[in-house]
Amino acid sequence: MKIRPMNDRVLVLRVDEEQKSPGGIIIPDTAKEKPQEGKVVATGPGKMADDGTRTPLDVKAGDRILFSKYAGTEIKIDGVEHLFMKEDDILGILD
């Protein structure tokens, strides 16, 4: 299935975190928090300004990003969980 986000929306795939703590303890699924890091899968064309021009997004497909903890709306695409979020929910791009 192909999805193209609208306006300043971004489609993100969460990046899995380590299963172990730094001390070597295995963390069970029930105790893990959802990661706040992801990979941009698709972006919209940009936000529409009041004068009718589009402001392009700073992120592009393939970027690794950090986003706020409760950002976005969770959806499943072909059985894989993704997030739809606004560009404003993105905290930064990882290099």
pLDDT 10s digits, 49-74: 889 899 999 999 999 999 988 888 99
The predicted structure's pLDDT at residue 30: 58
Mean pLDDT of the chain: 84
Q: How far apart are CA 38 and CA 27, in angstroms?
A: 20
State the CATH class of domain 9-18+28-94: mainly beta
* 67 CB-near residues (< 8 Å, 6+ apart): 12, 36, 37, 38, 83, 85, 89, 90, 91
With 70 as the cut, is the pLDDT of residue 42 above it? yes
With 80 as the cut, is the pLDDT of residue 41 above it? yes
Which residue type does 1 have?
M
With 60 as the cut, is the pLDDT of residue 20 above it? no
Q: Is the pTM of this model over 0.85?
A: no
With 80 as the cut, is the pLDDT of residue 76 above it? yes
CA angle at 67 for the pair 64 and 72, rounded to the nearest 5°: 110
With 70 as the cut, is the pLDDT of residue 4 above it? yes
